Structures are given as C-alpha cells and as structure tokens.
C-alpha cells in the first residue's frame, strides 16, 4: 500500500499547479473532476498490476525414477520443479531438460503426471515430449523437450500444479497398458482414443506415443503396428 499511496501523491502534485492553484480544493470544478477521474484510473491500473504480478505460480514438481533429470548438458543442475509461468488458452510452452539413464541396464523412458490441483485441470492440460522411444544404454543421456499445452476451452482456472514423473522402464512406449507385451489389447486402447485431442473425454495420454503430440492419429497407429508382438526383454 505504501507504493500505491506514493504514486497517487505524485499524480495529485502533477495537477496541483493548474492555473496557479496550489491545491486540489482551489481548482475549478472541471479540473477537480478531471483530476479525480485520473487518480481513480491510476488506482485501478496499480491494483490490477499488483494482482497480475502476484498470481500463483504454475509449478510442476519433477519426480525421477531410475533416471536423472537435469537443466544442463553437463548434468550438474538437477531439475526438482518446473515453472510454466503464464499460459493463455490455446497456447503451448516448452522446457528443455536432459535425462540420463541411471539404471544398470538398458531402458526406455516413460512419462506420466499425477496430483493435479485443481483436479479438473487434467482435462484441459496435456504434457508431451519429443522422446522418440529409443532404448537408452546405462549412463546415456538425451536432450528432451517437455511441452505443456493448454486447451482453448479451459474456463475458471487461474492457477494449477501437478507432478511430472519420468521413469526408466524395460517396456516399450507403445506398450500402452504397460503389461510387457504389445498386442491386440494395446490396439484396442489406441482405437478407443483414436482421433481425440487432449481435453476430449476419450483422450488417453499413454496412446500418444508418436509426434505430433497432443492428438491420437495415424502416426501413433503406425508406431504401434511397427512394434506389434514385441515383448519385454
């Protein structure tokens, strides 16, 4: 409030010497009204600016299992959380991280989310990445872009938080139900979500296995078909 009072004081001083008048009470009625309107407008702008500046941060905690997640290619600055800053409906934002396989065996990567707050935001936000599904050797690291997309249809949500889970697994990314084998059951899950985009009721993030991310399309179907009958090593 101290900053607001000081700004209002400056505004009043700026109008204080109109036609030689020393204070607001001595100004002609027209100028008094103009001055008060200007002060009111400044107060509104200052208050709105204060509200916008202090909005709740949109932060995701990052949990890693069997992998290390880092901000830099030297793998010295680990990622514990990601601040997505400001998002507008229909927009996307990407953050680049480096993921190292810290397991003792070759592994694939799996991306998941949890603990959405508020819970309804999970239907309007989609987290994808550009990981292409390759197997990683022990200590191998990959540069990966995490992309958060916000639906155009989102309403009534001004802030959110959720957890990002990146883990090493011996299952293929195309193993949608995570049972160790790519079979007809995975095809059924993909077929049920086919054509959907994040935010749709039938959306299944596990079926979004190939770029372009954010939609279940023919690219996901081809990726699944190429790995059909593959089993966990």
Strand residues in 140-184 grouped as ranges (E)? 141-150, 161-169
Model pTM greater than 0.85? no
Per DSSP bridges, beta strands 81-83 and 161-169 are: unpaired
The pLDDT profile of the chain, 233 residues, written as one tens digit per residue, is 434 344 434 444 444 444 444 454 555 665 556 656 666 666 665 555 444 333 334 788 999 999 999 999 999 999 999 999 888 888 889 999 999 999 888 988 888 888 988 888 888 888 888 887 788 999 999 999 999 988 888 877 778 889 999 988 877 778 888 888 889 999 999 999 999 887 678 888 788 887 777 789 998 899 889 888 877 66
pLDDT score recorded for residue 210: 77
Helix (H, G, I), strand (E, B) or coil at 53: helix
User: For residues 230 and 172, is the Cβ–Cβ distance under 8 A?
Assistant: yes
Tokens of 101: 């396989």
Angle formed by the axes of helices 218-226 and 184-193, nearest 10°: 180
Closest CA to 117 of 172, 159, 55, 154: 159
Cα distances (Å, whole numbers) of residue 35 to 14, 31, 32, 75? 9, 6, 5, 58
Number of residues that make up the chain:
233
Cα separation, 119 vs 117, whole angstroms: 5
Buried-exposed string 60-83: b where 16+ CB fall within 10 A, e elsewhere? bebebebbbbbeeeeeeeebeebe
119 Cβ contact partners less than 8 Å away, ≥ 6 residues apart: none
- pLDDT of amino acid 6: 41
Nearest 5°: phi and psi at 95?
A: -130, 130
Q: How many helices (H) and strands (E) does the chain have?
A: 4, 8
Q: What is the pLDDT of residue 163?
A: 93
């Amino acid at each position: 409030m101290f900053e607001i009072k000081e700004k209002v004081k400056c505004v009043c001083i700026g109008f204080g010497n109109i036609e030689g008048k020393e204070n607001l009470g001595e100004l002609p009625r027209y100028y008094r009204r103009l001055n008060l309107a200007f002060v009111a407008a400044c107060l509104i702008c200052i208050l709105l600016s204060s509200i916008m500046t202090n909005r709740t941060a949109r932060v995701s905690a990052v949990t890693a299992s069997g992998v290390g997640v880092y901000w830099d290619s030297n793998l010295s600055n680990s990622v514990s959380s990601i601040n997505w800053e400001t998002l507008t409906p229909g927009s996307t934002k990407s953050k680049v991280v480096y993921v190292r396989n810290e397991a003792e065996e070759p592994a694939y990567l799996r991306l998941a989310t949890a603990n959405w707050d508020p819970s309804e935001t999970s239907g309007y936000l989609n987290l994808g990445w550009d990981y292409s599904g390759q197997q990683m050797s022990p200590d191998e690291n990959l540069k990966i872009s995490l992309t958060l997309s916000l639906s155009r249809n989102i309403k009534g949500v001004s802030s959110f938080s959720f957890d990002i889970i990146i883990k090493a697994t011996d299952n293929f990314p195309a193993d949608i139900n995570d049972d160790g084998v790519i079979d007809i059951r995975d095809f059924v899950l993909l077929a049920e979500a086919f054509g959907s985009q994040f935010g749709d009721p039938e959306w299944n993030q596990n079926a979004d296995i190939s770029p372009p991310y954010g939609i279940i399309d023919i690219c996901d179907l081809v990726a699944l078909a190429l790995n059909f009958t593959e089993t966990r090593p």
